[in-house]
Amino acid sequence: MKLIAAVALLTLTATPVLAQTAPAMPATPAAPAPATPGAAVTTDSKFTIDTPIEQLVADPAAKAVVEGTIPGLSSHPSFDQFKAMSLTQVQPYSGGAITDEMIKKIAEGLAAIK
């Protein structure tokens, strides 16, 4: 009898929680915040710091910009694991090895490539 009363009480208290609906999503998503403060991002350049690293190292000019600031990036032992990511995505996982200044320097160099 106690079990039935406990189940009934649980059902009555859980019903309002289950009847609630999730809050409505906003009509327009918020614009994403810039990944790196001060990084130059232009729409007319061929490459940006948000371009996947494998695309950057496939282009000789972009590879020279990236390797000039981060030597050995394309020959890193874990390259296959992060090559599909952009520099802004890899930076937080670099343990401070890729700084905001490095990202800014690369962004400026990539912006010059047309």
Kindly report, residue by residue over 76-107, the tens digit of the pLDDT. Answer: 999 999 999 999 999 999 999 999 999 999 99
Q: Which of 34-48, 60-74, 80-94 has the weakest average pLDDT?
A: 34-48
Do 51 and 59 touch, CB atoms closer than 8 A?
no
Residue 58 dihedral angles phi and psi, to the nearest 5°? -75, -20
pLDDT at 19: 55
Domain definitions of the chain by residue range: 53-111
- Specify the pTM: 0.61
One-letter amino acid of 61? A
Report which of 84, 83, 65 is spatially closest to residue 75, judged by C-alpha positions: 83
Report which of 105, 7, 18, 10 is spatially closest to residue 65, judged by C-alpha positions: 105
pLDDT at 29: 53
